[in-house]
Structure 1
Amino acid sequence: MRIRPHHVRTVALGVGLAAVLCAPLAISVAAGADNTVVISRGRPALATSNLGSEIATRANDASTVTRWSSAAGPGTQWVRIDLGSVKRIERVRLSWGSTYARSYRLQVSSDGSNWTDLYTTWAGNGGADDLKKLSGNGRFLRVLATQRARATGGYTLADVRAWGPQSTALPAAAPATGSLVSGLEDTRKKERALELVSSAENSTLSWRRSFSYIEDIGDGRGYTAGIVGFTSGTSDMLAVVAEYTKRKPGNVLAKYLPALRAVDGSDSHAGLDPGYVTAWRTAARDPFFQRVQEAARDTYYFNPSMRVARADGLRALGQFAYFDAAVVHGLSGLRTIRANAMRTARTPAQGGDEMGYLNAFLNARVAEMRTEAAHEDVSRIETAQRLFLRRSNLDLTAPLTWQVYGDPYRIVR
């Protein structure tokens, strides 16, 4: 796919958690001597998963007996409380159950997408954590549990209680849009991932405009074309044209199949010039050829990278990071980057901290990109994916803002 000059990409041919949202309870809590009140009691709560009847709202109801428990298994889980409007948070008390987090973050957000840490620990020991002298403003309060203390079970919180000034009246913020807890199997989130890739590959969010794109970008792989940069030198362009011809014999590209087979593995245009570029652009107007391109993208890159990401216990951001790596480096390149990351960090499925593992993966990805002069600009990592990670947006929830090659982008929904 087209990239700005000197920002060439490599392509190689490769082979929901439940959530509960409840209405707030009408409970009044008296102010304490320090002029703070409990601001979390009975507010709507949401979690990445629930164990039976131990749902999210059990963590901030009026009872100290009820509790929220996540589904069993390693990996990241969170419970989030909607405070209704932006409020100041000065103290939070967490009462853990027998299955507690060794590593967790207490976070606030104004939009439910971009999060700021109020407190972080990698040495949780269960029981009650009374976190005082906090200072943060947000509509949403979240406990992000990233690593279990025990080898079995999930996470359990009997109580999440937050205090803030009684008279605080800050403007409300709109909640994040879309499915909060799903991965890229969610149609809207997959669309976001495709737009993110397109921002790096084509300097636009409108990836559907790239069906007709074709040029030789001088990367030693011949022609680069289509929605994820199928190339004449790395077999995937040949596979796309072969499938198109299989399903629609006599198309304008069919006569170039012998030449595509001959130049596969090289940067040669032999037998393709001068008519191939025009033929590709003509074929790209055919909705059937567009569907073939989309199917090839999913078959060679999206679906395989999703399988690996799910097996590693990654949420939507990690799934996107794997997909983007597959698009640029091929599936073999993704596996190499993953193996390098696993030398320094464990995946969530292995009991590792997801934030730490993704940071290691992005480090390995940057190192791999810098082995080629064409990938010297790593802004698609550092001012996009790394930025989402720093904001703890593991679910790739909109709104999203980022930059690639210095250009700003935003996805609102």
Structure 2
Amino acid sequence: MPIFRRTATRRTLLAALGTAAIASRWPSADAATAGATGLDAPAKKDLAMRLVSSAENSSLDWEAQYPYIEDIGDGRGYTGGIIGFCSGTGDMLALVELYTNRVPGNVLAGCLPALRAVDGTASHEGLAPGFPAAWRKAALTSAFRKAQRDERDRGYFDPAVARAKKDGVGTLGQFVYYDAMVMHGPGTDPLCFGGIRARARTHAATPTDGGNETTYVNAFLDARVWAMKQEEAHSDVTRVETAQRVFLKAGNLDLDTPLKWKVYGDGYAID
């Protein structure tokens, strides 16, 4: 089976690391998003991150995830950071390369040869045991935190939102695309974002193609559920059925607060 981008939920040990208090002092809003609309708007983007974090981290505090790193046993090597960059799927390598271009000689720079060697595998060869500690040390710097946000945007957020806007869907649909791209990756394989979108379009037209927005987003969620159920690590579909589908059924296409949802049986609310 090929290695796809994301994994099921991870319940982190960050409280034991004492990172939550530090994270509250880490500003994350980028000036470039000022004046943006839809999911690009700073408040909506933060909302999207909190929604994703509820599924990925069982917490709304996404800014506490910069230092997070562990192997959760899903065949993707180490998983770390604010969206779960993985050593086995290329995006962790891209992140560390970006950080090293900006800060040569950083604490992670020496790990680049090993990250290149393990890309596409679950291996820790050349990384264990020092890589997790180096990652957490790097996460204390504003440069590495910004690199995580920038790589999140380049690889996942910006492409997802741009594609959603071209398809004519609003803020909720843009989030639906983003969450799918984070979990499944941007590829065209049937179990990746592009394949999920293609499957959805066989059942409903996008608004840009003359379709109804609610009907199309429902079709996309149906295709996403199908894809999730094909892989054991993704087989719990509550992040769709008791979260995104709930917002859609309520007609909340603008993803306005207040919001209430459940993921993996845990309830969340944003006022």
SS of the residue 1:402 aligns to: strand
SS of the residue 1:212 aligns to: coil
Cα distance between partner residues in 1 of 2:255 and 2:144 = 30
Cα distance between partner residues in 1 of 2:144 and 2:243 = 31
Taking structure 1 as the reference length, the TM-score comes to 0.56
1:3 and 2:20 equivalent? no
Aligned residue for 2:3? none
Change over 3 Å in CA distance of 1:234–1:299 after alignment to 2: same
Aligned residue for 2:232? 373
Cα distance between partner residues in 2 of 1:256 and 1:188 = 35
| 1:108-257 correspondence runs (5 A) | 182-257=37-112
Aligned residue for 2:195? 336
1:408 and 2:267 equivalent? yes
Residue of 273, 293, 300 corresponding to 2:155:
300
The residue type equivalent to 2:243 in the other structure is A
Cα distance between partner residues in 1 of 2:92 and 2:235 = 25
SS of the residue 1:344 aligns to: coil
CA contact (8 A) 1:222 1:233 kept: yes
CA contact (8 A) 1:221 1:231 kept: yes
The residue type equivalent to 1:188 in the other structure is A
The residue type equivalent to 1:221 in the other structure is R
Question: Structure 2 regions of 5+ residues with no counterpart?
Answer: 1-6, 12-36
Q: CA offsets per residue over residues 382-405 of structure 1, 9 Å max, x none?
A: 000000000000000011110111
The number of residues matched between the two structures is 237
Aligned residue for 1:291? 146
SS of the residue 1:388 aligns to: helix
Q: Which has the larger helix fraction?
A: 2
**How far has the Cα of 1:4 moved from its partner?**
3.8
Q: Percent identity?
A: 57
SS of the residue 2:260 aligns to: strand
Aligned residue for 1:385? 244
Taking structure 2 as the reference length, the TM-score comes to 0.85
CA contact (8 A) 1:2 1:229 kept: no
Of structures 1 and 2, the one scoring higher in RCO (CA 8 A, sep 6+) is: 1
Residue of 194, 217, 221 corresponding to 1:358:
217
CA contact (8 A) 1:2 1:215 kept: no
Question: Structure 1 regions of 5+ residues with no counterpart?
Answer: 6-181
Residue of 318, 334, 352 corresponding to 2:173:
318
Cα distance between partner residues in 1 of 2:160 and 2:140 = 29
SS of the residue 1:325 aligns to: helix
CA contact (8 A) 1:245 1:254 kept: yes
The residue type equivalent to 1:229 in the other structure is G
The structure having more radius of gyration, on CA atoms, is 1
Cα distance between partner residues in 1 of 2:68 and 2:155 = 19
